[in-house]
Structure 1
Amino acid sequence: MNLDNLFLRIKEEFPKNAIEIKECLMLLSESIDSAMSDIQKASDAAYKDRNFDRIEELTQVARSVNGVQGNIDKYISDLELEDVKEEVEVIKQQEQEQQLENRKLPNYSDYIVDGNIPYGLYEDFTHKCPAAFSILGTKIEARQWKDVLLLTCQVLAKKDTQRFLGFAADPTMQGKKVNYFSKNTEKMRKPVKLDNTDVYIETNMSSNQIRNVIAKILRKYDVKITDYNVFLRADYTALHE
């Protein structure tokens, strides 16, 4: 069975897994975008030095990387669910996490994790609850994933307001079906307006979707993904096994 047929089968029979695979591929594609930007910078430097052999070498690398990204983007499209199905899966995950938060578990301490351990954005955050995140050397408390997203935007918007305002008109900062940033709420599910701006942010997303959007934001601000960390307070993965 080739990958095209495999992803089609997964999408039809296991929509939850299709979303998870798609989210991982989206993060990979975002990382490849970052690599392409670095290749471009290296190529520009080589041009200034008139190092044409280096330019040719980097062009070949860029061509190969672009081909890989093209395949990944195709797989992402293959795994796209219908709007209703995807929203149902996202809402289902959010409801499960909220129910766990509201339940008084007799052994709640079994699911508490060390809140001082930093996790990078390459982690899978399904069924995990945040305690805080760190960016630009500052640690900020956030107990819900939507707050991690909103507060990250708040920090970076203060750093460069015009860059953030530009997200609303930037197609690379939008989802295929839903706008992540917009000045109107027409193509948004659960928008929240960021303080002191006229931009709305989509908050009806899974933890991993939020992770991917944050990765996009960081790249726009030239902040390395590895310079951003999340701190967790609970991990309920065992309850879903």
Structure 2
Amino acid sequence: MSSGLRSVEARVRQILTDLEQVREALLALSDDIWLNIDHNDVQALEEGVAFKRAYNERMADFNRHAAELSSLIQQFTQVTVETPVSAETSERNGEAENERIIRELDRETPHYLGEHFSYKRPYGFVLKGQAYKDIVTWQSVYKLVCSLLAKLDPHRFALLPDNEAFVTRRGNRDFSRNPKDLRAPLALTDGVYAESNLSANEIARRIGLLLDAFDVDRREFVIYLRQDRDAGNQEDIMGIS
């Protein structure tokens, strides 16, 4: 590949990444505004509900157009927004490669469910000893976790749309067999779809619920953030020990 083509590919990938980061930042902003409303102030709460409703409607439109635009660009350019790396996707020996990825991730700061992830970007994670890296989006983290759990217990995974733990009091579903039930359906396996119109913190909360549903200790999920890795790389460049 010529240097010119590599440059174009890098620009396309960066634009796709920026588009996804804007989407995730807008979802995080919605969370921040809602949490900063005085819920004991009736007028403020009513105004907040009206704002949230209007915001969600526009976010749904934005998500749809952003997803269509991203898909169009990726199909035409053959450039993907991210290509997560794991032992399964590597040509190297599976177990040895998995251990190598874990050692690489362990050089960074580990983070756990329950932390605040707004405006933070994922880089990799380890779940039940299975490691992934080179992740860009929280949606990708969510999809990969679901994929791992589907392999762990296919029957339990197939029944997620029927699990009341993933249905809100208003009847909104986190999982469904019908994509029309969801605002932003994310195709998983075995005909199951997940709601993907979620902020980083909402995804983290649902991952916790999923681990509970599959009887997996939450401490077995460790997330690594891109800013920790970037900061470490910058220190290496500057010669800081």
- TM-score bracket relative to the smaller structure: 0.5 to 0.7
Contact 1:115–1:232 (Cα < 8 Å) also in 2: no
Unaligned regions of 5+ residues in structure 2, if any? 1-28, 38-47, 71-80, 82-105, 229-241
Q: Counterpart of 1:117?
A: 109
1:193 is aligned, of 179, 187, 199, to 187
CA displacement 1:62-115 (0-9 Å, x = unmatched): xxxxxxxxxxxxxxxxx877544345579999x9xx9xxx9xxxxxxxxxxx97
Q: Percent identity?
A: 27
Unaligned regions of 5+ residues in structure 1, if any? 1-13, 23-78, 103-113, 236-241
* Structure 2 CA distance for aligned equivalents of residues 147 and 223 of structure 1: 20
Count, aligned residues? 148
- Offset at residue 167 of structure 1 (A): 0.8
CA displacement 1:88-146 (0-9 Å, x = unmatched): 579999x9xx9xxx9xxxxxxxxxxx972110011111000000111001211232100
CA displacement 1:167-222 (0-9 Å, x = unmatched): 10112112446321000022311112113x11001112110110111011000011
Q: Do the aligned partners of residues 185 and 230 (structure 1) sit closer, same or farther apart at CA in structure 2, a change above 3 Å counting? A: same
Q: Do the aligned partners of residues 192 and 89 (structure 1) sit closer, same or farther apart at CA in structure 2, a change above 3 Å counting? A: closer
Aligned counterparts, 1:17-28, within 5 A? 17=32, 19-20=34-35
Contact 1:83–1:177 (Cα < 8 Å) also in 2: no
1:231 is aligned, of 205, 210, 224, to 224
Q: Do the aligned partners of residues 90 and 130 (structure 1) sit closer, same or farther apart at CA in structure 2, a change above 3 Å counting? A: farther
* Structure 2 CA distance for aligned equivalents of residues 119 and 194 of structure 1: 25
- Offset at residue 17 of structure 1 (A): 3.0
The answer to whether the aligner puts 1:151 opposite 2:144 as a matched pair is yes
Contact 1:173–1:180 (Cα < 8 Å) also in 2: yes
Secondary structure class of the residue paired with 1:128 = coil
Q: Counterpart of 1:217?
A: 210
Contact 1:185–1:200 (Cα < 8 Å) also in 2: yes
Q: Counterpart of 2:164?
A: 171
Secondary structure class of the residue paired with 2:151 = helix
* Structure 1 CA distance for aligned equivalents of residues 107 and 119 of structure 2: 16
* Structure 2 CA distance for aligned equivalents of residues 224 and 186 of structure 1: 32
* Structure 2 CA distance for aligned equivalents of residues 117 and 90 of structure 1: 34
Contact 2:127–2:222 (Cα < 8 Å) also in 1: yes
TM-score, structure 2 normalization: 0.53
Aligned counterparts, 1:59-208, within 5 A? 82-86=52-56, 88=58, 116-141=108-133, 142-175=135-168, 176=170, 178-195=172-189, 197-208=190-201
Secondary structure class of the residue paired with 2:160 = helix
| Bigger shift: residues 177-186 or 128-137 | 177-186
Q: Do the aligned partners of residues 198 and 89 (structure 1) sit closer, same or farther apart at CA in structure 2, a change above 3 Å counting? A: closer
CA RMSD of aligned residues (A): 3.3
